[in-house]
C-alpha cells in the first residue's frame, strides 16, 4: 500500500496537480466562499430592496440581530422565534420519519431482489429526484380539500376530509418532506446492510435469534456509522429545505413558516435584505455546528476502525 | 423459525410493501392522469376518453416551449459540462498528488457547500451576480449552480478515481507520454463512467431547481421550465390545470429517462456520493 | 464508451428540437426602429382579461399603425404576468434593482413612493424631457387625480382610473332568505343582522370582509380600511403626519372582525388565510356560499363581468347588486359620515431603464388619449381620471361613482405606507386566527409602527 502511494506521487507533479485545482478554487471561492463572507457584512446594515435604504444602506451594528432576539415578541406569528420553533418540529418530525422509514424499507428488502424491490425502490427514489416544482404541483392536487386524492380515499373509508394545507400546514409539509427525502436513508442503509457479511447473520440464526434480536444485536451496531451520517445530513438538509414553499408559501398565517421560507420572505417578499442576511448568518451558524458535529463523528469513526 | 411465525412475517412484509407503494405512488398518480383528461380538475380519475389535446396546447405555447426546450436545456447542459470538467480535473489531482490533509479538505468543502445553501445564500448571490453584470443571463445561473454543486461532484469523483489502478498511467509515463497525453489517452477513457454519473447528477439537479433561476433570471424568455411551471400554477384565476399538468409531465420526462437509464446500466445506488 | 454514446444520443435527440425552437424565436424579425414592451398583471381569460384584450386588440395595432404612418417601424409586445399583485411588485423590485424590466409597466399608485426612494423610477419629464407637458391630456386630468401616480410633487406616470369600495350582494340569496330589496344597511349591526338571517337561511358563510396577509393590499383596502373608516378613523392623521397606533376605533374595527370570523362565524375564516384566498372568495361568491362581499369596482367590471370565469351562473346583472358600506352608527364614520369608501388608483409608468424614452412616452400618452380610453370604456366601463370621459354604458358603474366618490378618501402616498399596510394585515390576521385578542393585536401593531416610523409618530390614545 505504502509502495503504491509513493509511486503515485510520480504520476503527477505537485505543480501540475495544483494547476488542475485552480478552476475549482475559483468557482468555489467566488460562488460559495465569497457569498458566505458577504452575507455577514450585509447583516450589519439596514439594506433593503425598496425604499430609501435600497440606495443608501446604513450601518446598524448589531441592530438586526437584537431585533431578531427581541424576546418580548419573537414568538409571534411571522417572527424569528416562531419560525425557529416550527423548524425544530419540522426537522425532528422529518428526521424520525425519513430515517425510520428508510431503515425499514432497507431492512425489509435486505438480500432480496426482484420486481417488488425494483418497484418500491423506483417509487421512493423518484420522489426524491423529480423536479421540485412538478412535485409541488402534484402534491397541491393530492392534498386539495375539495377534490384531492387523499380526501377522496379517506372519503371511501367514510372519513371526512379536511383542507390539509390550511388546517394542518406543518404536519402536511412534514409528511411531504418525509415522502420527498426517505430515499436517501433507504439507499444509504441498503448499501450498509448489504455490506454485512452473511456469516454474521448465520451465526445468529444458529443461536436462534429472532429477527428483532438479529437486527438489534448484530445489524444495528454494524450500520451505526451510516446511522450517524443519515441523522446529521438529513438534519442539515431538512433545516435548509425550501421546497415546502411551493405547497404552502409559508402560510396560512405563517403556520408553515419554516426557517428557509422565513429567510426568503424577509429578504425577497418584505425586501429586508439586512435583516434577511442576519437570519441567514444565524442559519449558517447552526448549519456549521451541525456540519462540525458530523466531522467530529467521522473522525471518531476513523479512530474506532 | 416455526411456520405460523413465518407466515405472519410474510403477511407483515406484504402489508408493509403495499402501504409503502401506495403512499409513494398516490401523489404521483395525478400527474400521470390529469394531462390526459378533458376537464381541468385536481381530482384523480382515469380519463374516460383520454386526449392529447392538452399536449397540443402546450406545444403551441411559445413561452412554455422555449422554457423547456431552450432555456432549461442550455442551463442544465451548460452546468453539467462545466461541473463535470472541473470536478474531474480536481478529483484527479486530489487523488494523485499528496497534499497534507486533503481528505479533510474534501470533507470540509462538501460540508461547507451544505452550509452555504438555499434561501440563506440568495441575498449575497443575487447581489454578486448583479455586480458581475450577469443578472438575467444563462451564464449567471450556470456559474452559481457550478459553484454550489462542485464540492459534492468532486467528492463523488474522487471516490471513483481512488478506486482506479494507477498502473496504466505509470506505464504510459514509462513509455514516454507527456502528462497531457497521459491525461487524454489513459485517464479520460478510464474515468468516463464516473464522469457520466457526475454529469447526470448535475443535470438532474439543475433541471429541477427552482429558487436560483427564479431570483436570478428576470425576463420570461430566459426562464427555465422549473420557474415556468411555477408561474403557471400560481396564475390567478386561469383554468389551465390540465395544461400545467401536461407541461409538468413533459418536464419530468428527462429526469425519469435518466433515472431509468442509470438504473438499467449501473443499478441506482450509492457510490459513496450524495445528493446536494 | 457505449454508455457515453447512450447519454450523448439522448442529448442529441433533444438538440434538433432545441434548435427548432431557438430558430423559431429568432424568426420574428427585429423591427428596424424599436421594440417596446408593456407588462401588466393579467392573462387571457384571467381576472384582468379585459385589459389584455384592450392592449392586444386596440392599443398595439393602433400604435404600430400610427408609427408606420410616420415611417417608423415600431413593435410593441405585451407581457402577461399571471401572479398576484404582491408577486408583481416583487418582480418589479428585483427587475428594477438590477436595471431591467419592461418599458411600460402597469403600476399600483401606492407602490410609487417606495420605488422612488429606492431610486428605481424617475419623473416623467426627467425620462422623456419637457415635451411631456405638451400632451393635451393634462388639461382634462384634475390636479388631484394626477397625484395617483405622483409622489412629493413629481409625476411618475399616468393614472388610468380610480375606484370606490362597497358591499356587493347576491339578490337571489337575499330573496330566498326573505330580506327585502333593495338592501341598504345603516349600521354595522344591520350588516351583521342580515348576515345572521342569511346564515339561518342556509348560506354557509354570508359575509366576506378581507383579512390576513395572504390577500395583501386587498385586505387593507377592502377590509381593514373599510371597517376602520366606519369606526370613524383613518389609518393616518394627515394634519400631524402621525399614524394611529392604539385607539378605540382600531379596537372596534378588530372587535367586529372577531365577531364575524371567530365568535359568530358569519364569514369563512380559512378563506382569509389561504394563499389563494382572494380567488376562493370570488369562487364562493359565484357559488352562492358568500352572499355579501366588500370589494372595489374592479370586482364588478372585471371579476364578475359577463362572460368571466367568476360570474354567477344566473348572470351578474340578474343576481348581483351593491350597497354603500355603512359606518358603525349613522354619523359615526370618518369625517362624521354615514357611509364610507376608499379609493385607490392604478396606471402605467415608464421604466427609466428603457432604451427608447421618447418613444415610450409617446406610447404611454397614446394609451391615455381620448380614443384609446374610450375604446377601453367600450370593453369595460369604469371611472377614469379624464374629465372628458364619462362612466358610460353601464348604469350601475355610473351610480356607484356618483353616490360613493363623495364619501371616498385615499391612502397616504408615503414610503412607509407599504410596510405599515402589511403590519395592519398581520394585525387582522392575528385576530381572525385567534392568535391574539383585539387588544393584544393592536398593541403588537403599535409596536410595529414604532419600529417603522419611530414612536414619536405613533398616536396612542
Chain A interface test: which of B4, B9, B27 (most A C-beta within 10 Å): B27
Is the pLDDT higher at A193 or at C21? Answer: A193
Q: Is C40 in the same domain as C102?
A: yes
**Long-range residue pairs from B44-49, CB within 8 A, at least 24 positions apart, any chain:** B44/A141, B44/A149, B44/A152
Beta strands C458-460 and C150-151 are unpaired
Which candidate, C367, C356, C303, places its Cα nearest to that of C107?
Answer: C367
ipTM above 0.85, yes or no: yes
C7 part of a folded domain? no
Domain span at residue C387? Answer: 33-163+344-402
Using CB atoms, which residue from A50, A163, A252 is nearest to C118?
A50
**Residue A162, domain member (yes or no):** yes
Higher pLDDT, A19 or C76: C76
**Domain shared by C378 and C436, yes or no:** no
pLDDT over 70 (residue C447): yes
Region A179-189: mean pLDDT is 93
Higher pLDDT, A10 or C303: C303
User: What total number of domains does chain A contain?
Assistant: 1
Whether the Cβ atoms of residue A50 and residue C115 lie closer than 8 Å to each other:
yes
Query: C touches which chains (3+ CB pairs under 8 A)?
Result: A, B
B/e letters for A83-102, b = 16+ CB within 10 Å, e = fewer, are bbebbeebbebbbebbbebb
pLDDT at A197: 80
C13 close to B (CB below 8 A): no
Is the domain of C274 the same as that of C175?
A: yes
What's the first-to-final CA gap in chain A, in angstroms?
Answer: 18
Residue A158 lies in a domain: yes
Q: CA of C417: which chain A residue's CA is closest?
A: A51
What's the mean per-residue pLDDT of chain A?
87
> What is the C-alpha separation between C459 and B268, in angstroms, rounded?
65
User: Can you give the CATH number for the domain in which C365 is found?
Assistant: 3.40.190.10
How many Å apart are CA A192 and CA C300, to the nearest integer? 64
Pair (C312, C358) in one structural domain = no
CATH number at A236 reads 1.10.3720.10
Phi, psi dihedrals of residue A13, rounded to the nearest 5°:
-70, 155
- Tell me the C-alpha distance between C393 and C403, whole Å: 17
* Residue A196 confidence (pLDDT): 81
Coil/strand/helix, residue C157: strand
The number of C-beta contacts closer than 8 angstroms across A and B is 289
Q: What is the domain range of residue A285?
A: 72-304
Residues of C in contact with B261 (CB under 8 A): 6-7, 10
> Over 60: is that where the pLDDT of C18 sits?
no
Average pLDDT of the residues of chain B: 84
Q: What does the pLDDT read at residue C4?
A: 40
d(CA C38, CA C77): 6
Do residues C148 and C132 share a domain? yes
Model pLDDT for residues B84-105, shown as the tens digit of each residue: 999 999 988 888 877 777 777 8
- Would you tell me the crossing angle of helices B72-96 and C2-27 to the nearest 10 degrees? 140
Each residue's pLDDT tens digit, A269-283: 899 999 999 999 999
pTM summary value:
0.89
**What percent of chain B stands above pLDDT 70?**
89
Instruction: Say if A298 falls within a structural domain.
Output: yes
Q: Domain check: are C153 and C258 in the same one?
A: no
**Residue of C431, C260, C262 lying closest to A76 (CA atoms):** C431
Q: What is the reported pLDDT for C29?
A: 53
Hey, which residues 84-103 in chain B have their CB within 8 Å of chain A? 85-87, 89-90, 92-94, 96-99
User: Which tens digit of pLDDT belongs to each residue from C401-425?
Assistant: 889 989 999 999 999 999 999 999 9
- Say whether both C422 and C389 belong to one domain: no
Nearest to A268 among C90, C120, C451 (CB): C90
| C-chain residues near B62 (CB < 8 A) | 24-25
pLDDT tens digits along B199-248: 999 999 999 999 999 999 988 888 999 988 877 765 544 446 777 888 89
Q: What is the pLDDT of residues A38-51, one digit of tens each?
A: 999 999 999 999 98
- Output the average pLDDT for chain C: 89
* Start-to-end Cα distance in chain C: 80
Mean pLDDT within B139-167 = 88
pLDDT value, residue C3: 39
More confident of the two residues C306 and C351: C351
Q: Crossing angle of helices B225-233/A132-143, nearest 10°? A: 20
CA dist C103 and C354 (Å) reads: 5
User: C353, C384, C402: which is the final residue of a domain?
Assistant: C402
Lowest-confidence range among A211-215, B85-89, C254-258, C328-332? A211-215
Strands C207-208 and C150-151: unpaired
Q: Give me the domains of chain B, ranges plus CATH numbers.
A: 1-51 (no CATH), 60-265 (1.10.3720.10)
Does residue A289 lie within any of the structural domains? yes
Residue C20 pLDDT exceeds 60: no
Q: Are residues C155 and C243 both part of a single domain?
A: no
pLDDT at C389: 87
Residues C60 and C170 in one domain: no
Of the two residues C240 and B274, the one the predictor is more confident about is C240
Residue A6 belongs to a domain: no
Amino acid at each position: 500500500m505504502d509502495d503504491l502511494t509513493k509511486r503515485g506521487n510520480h504520476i503527477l507533479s505537485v505543480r501540475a496537480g495544483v494547476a488542475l485545482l485552480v478552476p475549482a478554487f475559483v468557482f468555489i471561492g467566488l460562488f460559495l466562499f465569497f457569498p458566505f463572507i458577504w452575507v455577514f457584512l450585509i447583516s450589519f446594515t439596514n439594506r433593503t430592496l425598496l425604499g430609501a435604504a435600497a440606495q443608501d444602506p446604513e450601518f446598524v451594528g448589531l441592530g438586526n440581530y437584537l431585533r431578531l432576539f427581541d424576546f418580548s415578541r419573537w414568538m409571534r406569528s411571522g417572527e424569528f422565534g416562531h419560525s425557529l420553533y416550527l423548524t425544530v418540529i419540522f426537522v425532528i418530525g422529518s428526521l424520525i420519519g425519513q430515517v425510520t422509514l428508510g431503515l425499514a424499507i432497507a431492512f425489509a428488502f435486505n438480500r432480496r431482489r426482484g420486481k417488488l424491490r425494483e418497484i418500491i425502490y423506483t417509487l421512493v427514489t423518484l420522489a426524491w429526484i423529480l423536479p421540485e416544482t412538478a412535485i409541488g404541483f402534484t402534491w397541491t392536487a393530492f392534498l386539495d380539500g375539495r377534490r384531492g386524492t387523499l380526501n377522496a380515499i379517506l372519503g371511501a373509508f367514510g372519513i371526512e376530509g379536511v383542507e390539509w394545507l390550511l388546517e394542518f400546514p406543518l404536519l402536511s409539509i412534514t409528511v411531504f418532506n418525509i415522502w420527498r427525502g426517505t430515499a436517501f436513508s433507504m439507499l444509504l442503509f441498503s448499501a450498509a446492510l448489504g455490506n454485512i457479511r452473511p456469516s454474521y447473520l448465520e451465526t445468529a440464526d444458529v443461536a436462534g435469534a429472532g429477527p428483532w434480536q438479529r437486527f438489534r444485536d448484530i445489524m444495528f451496531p454494524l450500520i451505526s456509522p451510516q446511522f450517524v451520517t443519515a441523522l446529521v445530513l438529513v438534519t442539515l438538509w431538512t433545516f435548509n429545505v425550501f421546497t415546502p414553499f411551493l405547497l404552502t408559501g409559508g402560510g396560512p398565517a405563517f403556520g408553515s413558516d419554516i426557517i428557509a421560507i422565513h429567510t426568503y420572505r424577509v429578504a425577497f417578499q418584505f425586501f429586508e435584505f439586512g435583516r434577511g442576511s442576519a437570519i441567514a448568518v444565524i442559519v449558517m451558524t447552526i448549519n456549521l455546528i451541525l456540519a462540525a458535529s458530523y466531522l467530529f463523528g467521522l473522525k471518531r469513526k476513523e479512530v474506532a476502525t | 423459525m416455526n411456520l405460523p411465525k413465518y407466515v405472519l412475517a410474510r403477511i407483515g412484509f406484504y402489508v408493509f410493501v403495499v402501504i409503502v407503494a401506495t403512499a409513494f405512488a398516490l401523489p404521483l398518480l395525478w400527474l400521470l392522469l390529469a394531462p390526459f383528461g378533458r376537464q381541468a380538475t385536481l381530482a384523480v380519475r382515469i380519463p374516460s376518453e383520454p386526449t392529447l389535446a392538452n399536449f397540443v396546447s402546450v406545444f403551441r405555447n411559445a413561452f412554455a416551449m422555449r422554457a423547456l426546450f431552450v432555456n432549461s436545456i442550455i442551463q442544465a447542459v451548460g452546468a453539467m459540462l462545466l461541473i463535470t470538467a472541473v470536478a474531474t480535473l480536481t478529483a484527479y489531482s486530489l487523488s494523485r498528488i499528496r497534499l497534507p490533509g486533503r481528505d479533510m479538505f474534501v470533507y470540509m468543502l462538501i460540508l461547507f457547500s451544505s452550509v452555504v445553501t438555499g434561501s440563506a445564500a440568495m441575498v449575497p448571490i443575487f447581489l454578486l451576480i448583479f455586480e458581475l453584470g450577469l443578472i438575467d443571463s444563462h451564464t449567471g445561473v450556470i456559474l452559481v449552480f457550478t459553484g454550489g454543486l462542485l464540492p459534492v461532484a468532486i467528492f463523488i469523483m474522487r471516490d471513483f478515481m481512488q478506486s482506479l489502478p494507477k498502473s496504466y498511467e505509470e506505464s504510459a509515463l514509462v513509455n514516454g507520454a507527456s502528462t497531457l497525453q497521459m491525461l487524454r489517452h489513459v485517464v479520460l477513457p478510464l474515468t468516463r463512467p464516473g464522469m457520466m454519473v457526475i454529469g447526470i447528477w448535475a443535470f438532474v439537479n439543475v433541471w429541477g431547481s427552482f429558487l436560483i433561476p427564479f431570483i436570478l433570471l428576470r425576463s420570461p424568455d430566459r426562464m427555465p421550465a422549473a420557474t415556468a411551471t411555477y408561474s403557471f400554477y400560481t396564475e390567478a384565476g386561469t383554468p389551465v390545470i390540465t395544461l400545467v399538468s401536461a407541461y409538468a409531465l413533459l418536464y419530468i420526462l428527462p429526469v425519469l429517462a435518466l433515472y431509468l437509464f442509470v438504473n438499467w446500466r449501473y443499478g441506482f445506488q450509492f457510490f459513496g456520493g450524495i445528493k446536494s | 464508451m457505449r454508455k457515453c454514446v447512450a447519454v450523448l444520443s439522448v442529448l442529441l435527440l433533444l438538440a434538433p428540437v432545441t434548435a427548432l425552437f431557438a430558430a423559431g424565436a429568432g424568426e420574428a424579425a427585429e423591427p428596424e426602429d424599436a421594440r417596446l414592451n408593456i407588462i401588466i398583471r393579467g392573462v387571457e381569460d384571467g381576472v384582468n382579461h379585459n385589459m389584455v384584450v384592450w392592449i392586444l386588440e386596440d392599443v398595439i395595432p393602433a400604435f404600430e399603425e400610427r408609427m408606420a404612418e410616420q415611417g417608423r417601424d415600431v413593435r410593441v409586445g405585451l407581457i402577461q404576468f399571471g401572479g398576484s399583485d404582491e408577486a408583481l411588485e416583487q418582480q418589479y423590485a428585483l427587475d428594477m434593482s438590477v436595471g431591467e424590466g419592461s418599458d411600460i409597466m402597469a403600476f399600483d399608485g401606492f407602490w410609487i413612493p417606495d420605488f422612488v426612494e429606492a431610486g428605481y423610477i424617475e419623473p416623467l419629464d426627467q425620462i422623456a424631457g419637457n415635451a411631456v407637458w405638451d400632451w393635451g391630456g393634462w388639461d382634462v386630468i384634475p390636479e388631484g387625480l394626477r397625484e395617483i401616480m405622483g409622489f412629493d410633487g413629481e409625476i411618475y406616470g399616468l393614472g388610468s382610473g380610480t375606484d370606490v369600495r362597497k358591499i356587493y350582494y347576491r339578490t337571489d340569496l337575499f330573496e330566498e332568505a326573505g330580506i327585502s330589496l333593495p338592501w341598504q344597511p345603516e349600521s354595522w349591526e344591520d350588516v351583521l343582522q342580515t348576515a345572521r338571517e342569511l346564515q339561518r337561511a342556509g348560506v354557509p358563510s354570508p359575509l366576506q370582509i378581507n383579512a390576513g396577509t395572504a390577500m395583501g393590499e386587498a385586505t387593507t383596502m377592502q377590509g381593514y380600511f373599510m371597517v376602520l373608516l366606519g369606526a370613524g378613523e383613518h389609518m393616518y392623521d394627515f394634519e400631524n403626519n402621525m399614524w394611529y397606533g392604539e385607539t378605540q376605533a382600531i379596537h372596534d374595527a378588530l372587535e367586529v372582525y372577531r365577531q364575524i370570523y371567530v365568535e359568530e362565524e358569519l364569514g369563512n375564516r380559512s378563506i382569509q388565510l389561504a394563499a389563494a384566498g382572494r380567488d376562493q372568495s370570488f369562487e364562493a361568491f359565484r357559488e352562492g356560499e358568500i352572499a355579501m362581499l366588500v370589494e372595489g369596482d374592479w370586482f364588478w367590471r372585471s371579476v364578475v363581468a359577463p362572460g368571466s370565469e367568476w360570474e354567477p351562473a344566473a348572470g351578474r346583472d340578474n343576481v348581483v347588486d351593491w350597497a354603500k358600506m355603512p359606518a358603525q352608527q349613522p354619523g359615526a364614520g370618518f369625517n362624521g359620515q354615514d357611509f364610507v369608501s376608499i379609493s385607490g388608483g392604478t396606471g402605467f409608468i415608464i421604466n427609466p431603464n428603457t432604451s427608447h424614452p421618447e418613444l415610450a412616452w409617446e406610447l404611454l400618452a397614446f394609451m391615455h388619449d381620448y380614443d384609446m380610453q374610450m375604446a377601453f370604456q367600450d370593453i369595460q366601463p369604469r371611472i377614469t381620471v379624464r374629465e372628458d370621459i364619462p362612466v358610460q354604458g353601464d348604469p350601475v358603474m355610473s351610480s356607484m361613482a356618483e353616490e360613493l366618490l363623495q364619501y371616498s378618501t385615499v391612502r397616504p402616498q408615503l414610503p412607509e405606507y407599504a410596510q405599515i399596510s402589511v403590519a395592519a394585515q398581520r394585525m387582522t390576521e392575528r385576530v381572525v386566527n385567534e392568535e391574539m385578542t383585539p387588544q393584544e393585536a393592536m398593541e403588537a401593531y403599535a409596536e410595529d409602527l414604532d419600529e417603522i416610523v419611530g414612536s414619536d409618530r405613533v398616536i396612542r390614545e
